[in-house]
Amino acid sequence: MQLPARVYEVKELVVSNQPIISAVDLKRYYSVSKGLLRKAGVVKALDGVSFELAAGKTLAVVGESGCGKSTLARLVAMIEHASAGELLLDGKSVYSNKSASNKIGGNKIKLNSRETRQAVQVVFQDPYASLNPRHKIGTILEEPLALNSKMSAEQRRSRAESMMQRVGLRPEHYERYPHMFSGGQRQRIAIARAMILNPRVLVLDEPVSALDLSIQAQVLNLLAELQREFGLAYIFISHDLSVVRHIADYVMVMYLGKVVEAASVKVLFSEPRHPYTVALLSATPTTDSRVRKKRLTLKGELPSPLDPPDGCAFNPRCPNASKECRKEQPALKQAEDNSRQLACFHPMATQ
Amino acid sequence: MTHLLDIRKLCIDFQSASGLFRAVDSIDMHCDSGEILAIVGESGSGKSVAMLAMMGLLPWNAKISAERMLFDGHDLLGLNKRERRRIIGKDIGMIFQEPMSSLNPCFTVGFQIGESLRLHLGLKGARKRERSIALLRQVGIPAPETRLSAFPHQLSGGMCQRVMIAMVLASNPKLLIADEPTTALDVTIQAQILELLLSLQREKDMALILITHDMGVVAETAERVQVQYAGQKVEEQNVRSLFSAPRHPYTAALLASLPERARTRGKLPSIVGVVPGQFDRPPACLFAPRCAQAKSVCNENVRQQGAAHGHALCNFPLEYTK
């Protein structure tokens, strides 16, 4: 396979301004088998998520653990099949057969989807776990090329070396093993590996959470440079809102498998409307004493996804919850001022 | 004036296969009752190791030396094991980062709290149970009577951390050391736990030492902050002046690299290079190779500044004009 020239591709995408990747009502259910003392159940890890993302843009997905953000990442990266819904790359479905019902593992990913898979790559949270300790950096970087292209060994090596240089690694690192690197350098290796097949979408699953503060800034800068240079679309999974605010264009806030609020980064951070978003923002500690507001501390914890509450999943912890919220689930709707999508009966007032 | 905790020139070396590794390099530290001291630093800055040394929790290959290590009038270095146990865990309590793994998975929550009550206060039977329930209620655990018979795996991370706090509180400690108490928790739970720690600290007039790497947590909870880098204390200031006028170039660079402090969406200011390791330790100032202001003299010696310059361990502390 000849790898296409990068510059040409980016130009074309910017002109078309079409979403590279989009999801329509994506769902992923897991069945929990019957144990000795509990009955079988279904965990709705991801329950109907839709989004569109164009080249050069970043979509951040935030939420607490168990909200389904990593499940979304695995679905977008095509590591897992969807239970229902549609994932489109350049307007074409990546799934071969669709089941009408919400059967677990219903939508299968096409088998001959090498090109599709190459277009979407992943960077994981923990660079200590995501690199094979028995492989040299060179081997790690060249493996995707060896599997997916017809490049000769020399071509592969030169491509790996140029990619190493691009992410800020030195040529002598080619012969080294992962344990000889610090966390920040390892994350650079993971980024280089993801970039080596010229992807168009990068799924970044908490890429800087495991890194120290001074290293975090280096890696975020690198990601921003790569995005500008190659016109990449980023799906950025994170729980750190200050990082999200810095890097994202759009933000999706998730709670128990559902999107509760989605808006541009400016709108979401300046005037959040969903009570959960407000609580999340006010719970994040800040170093700036001027913006420190009265805190909306939530009572209780995330409910068990095996046994979600009736109505809105957030109602047991919500300060605005009413009878309606305990009975009916609010749908994600476009807000009246078109600024955002919101799933709440009683949103907070704008200040 | 004597401090509740007074440590002078604490050094900790680890005996490793490749020679001695200095994890903590002559650190001074003090803390008084009712005070909240935060220790911040990146991984490898020796912030946890210093506290573990005080608790006597380091492995055998650690060599601890200090000019002085006083707690409440006791010399912690001179105590034998039996005497030390009477203080550690009773007057000094510690909670850790991973609440799930610091509780014993084989015993119920009630047993683990009761153990602390029995050993330190000599409580038994119904009185022990009563006190356990009161403690769980104090840390905000709903239905404490039924939770006593729960095992750690049946509780969430936030609940486990509350149980840890209840265990520590059982003996009414004078000093509580919280080592990254909220790092493993979600932000909404983090806010709950920090609020709980602060209210208990105020109520009991405890000294609280908070070890963390999260600058936001420091800014919102601490009164005094000490910044550590590669095993040394590089700066100490009260919290407000630290964030408005950091004196050490490292502190300033660290604060500048926070995404929330970035003015524009462009490039974040970052610190070049990495923390020095065992073999590339600079001769004088440890931050010199990464420092933008470093001059040749920084490779020869480094001077500790006075209180006016935040006790910065730097030849050229940052100046601010008022």
Q: What are B42-97's pLDDT values in tens digits? A: 888 889 999 999 888 898 899 999 999 999 988 988 888 888 888 888 899 999 98
Angle at B123 between CA B121 and CA B124, to 5 degrees: 155
Best B257, B278, B279 member to test A by mutation, with max A CBs in 10 Å, is B257
Please check whether residues A240 and A280 belong to one and the same domain: no
pLDDT at B177: 95
Candidates A220, A241, A289; nearest CB to B268: A220
**pLDDT surpasses 90 at A79:** no
Nearest residue in A to B252, CA atom: A214
| CA dihedral of A95, A99, A104, A107, whole degrees rounded to 10 | 0
Span B201-214, mean pLDDT?
A: 93
Least confident residue range of A110-114, A286-290, A330-334: A110-114
Collect all residues of chain B within an 8 Å Cβ-Cβ radius of residue A302: 156, 186
Candidates A239, A242, A297; nearest CB to B258: A242
CA distance A304 to chain B (A): 10
CA distance B259 to chain A (A): 6
CA distance A122 to chain B (A): 23
Distances (CA, A) of A35 to A32, A306, B104, B156: 9, 14, 24, 21
pLDDT at A112: 56
pLDDT at B274: 82
Q: Which of A248, A282, A316 is the last residue of a domain?
A: A248
Candidates B158, B188, B257; nearest CB to A279: B188
**Does residue A224 lie within any of the structural domains?**
yes
Collect all residues of chain B within an 8 Å Cβ-Cβ radius of residue A279: 188
Nearest residue in B to A278, CA atom: B188
pLDDT at A16: 46
Please check whether residues A137 and A153 belong to one and the same domain: yes
pLDDT at A1: 43
Q: How confident is the model at residue B233 (pLDDT cuts 50, 70, 90)?
A: very high
More confident residue, A304 or A256: A256
pLDDT at A227: 94
Q: Which of A248, A266, A300 is the last residue of a domain?
A: A248
Q: What is the 3-state secondary structure (H, E, C) of B254-303?
A: HHHCCHHHCCCCCCCCCCCCCCCCCCCCCCCCCCHHHCCCCCHHHHCCCC
Dihedral sign (CA A300, B199, B37, B219)? positive
Contact A279, B188 (CB under 8 A): yes
**Does residue A320 lie within any of the structural domains?**
yes
Share the mean pLDDT of chain B.
90
Please check whether residues A61 and A105 belong to one and the same domain: yes
Q: How confident is the model at residue A98 (pLDDT cuts 50, 70, 90)?
A: low
CA distance B1 to chain A (A): 32
pLDDT at A7: 36
Please check whether residues A166 and A302 belong to one and the same domain: no
Please check whether residues A176 and A315 belong to one and the same domain: no
More confident residue, B78 or A346: A346
- Domain interval for residue A335: 255-342
Helix ranges (H only) for A176-290 are 183-195, 213-230, 241-247, 265-270, 275-283
Please check whether residues A244 and A274 belong to one and the same domain: no
Q: How confident is the model at residue A304 (pLDDT cuts 50, 70, 90)?
A: confident
CA A103/CA A81 separation, integer angstroms: 11
**Does residue A351 lie within any of the structural domains?**
no
Instruction: Say whether residue A64 is in contact with chain B using an 8 A CB cutoff.
Output: yes
pLDDT at A141: 95
Using one digit for the tens of pLDDT, what is the confidence trace for B103-134? 999 999 999 999 989 988 898 899 999 999 99
**Does residue A116 lie within any of the structural domains?**
yes
CB contact under 8 A, A246 and B262: yes
Nearest residue in B to A291, CA atom: B260
In the block, tokens 């409307």 appear at A273
Q: How confident is the model at residue B27 (pLDDT cuts 50, 70, 90)?
A: very high
Please check whether residues A293 and A225 belong to one and the same domain: no
Please check whether residues A172 and A307 belong to one and the same domain: no
Do strands B207-212 and B175-179 pair parallel, antiparallel, or not at all (unpaired)?
parallel
CA B270/CA B290 separation, integer angstroms: 10
Least confident residue range of A152-161, B72-81, B130-139: B72-81
CA A301/CA B2 separation, integer angstroms: 43
Best A64, A209, A214, A236 member to test B by mutation, with max B CBs in 10 Å, is A214
Span A49-71, mean pLDDT?
A: 91
Candidates B254, B261, B262; nearest CB to A214: B254
Please check whether residues A89 and A21 belong to one and the same domain: yes
Span A281-304, mean pLDDT?
A: 78
**Does residue A243 lie within any of the structural domains?**
yes
**Does residue A190 lie within any of the structural domains?**
yes
**pLDDT surpasses 90 at B11:** yes
**Does residue A10 lie within any of the structural domains?**
yes
Span B231-252, mean pLDDT?
A: 94
Greatest Cα pair distance in chain B: 69
Helix ranges (H only) for B122-268 are 125-138, 144-147, 157-169, 187-204, 215-221, 239-244, 249-256
Q: What is the pTM of this model?
A: 0.86
Best B42, B260, B271, B287 member to test A by mutation, with max A CBs in 10 Å, is B260
CA distance A124 to chain B (A): 18
Q: How confident is the model at residue A266 (pLDDT cuts 50, 70, 90)?
A: very high
Residue A174: give its domain's CATH number.
3.40.50.300
Compute the count of residue pairs across chains A and B with CB atoms less than 8 Å apart.
Answer: 111
Q: How confident is the model at residue B7 (pLDDT cuts 50, 70, 90)?
A: very high
Q: Which of A226, A248, A270 is the last residue of a domain?
A: A248
Instruction: Say whether residue A86 is in contact with chain B using an 8 A CB cutoff.
Output: no
| Number of domains making up chain A | 2
CB contact under 8 A, A64 and B186: yes
Please check whether residues A140 and A85 belong to one and the same domain: yes
Best B186, B197, B223, B271 member to test A by mutation, with max A CBs in 10 Å, is B186
**Does residue A347 lie within any of the structural domains?**
no
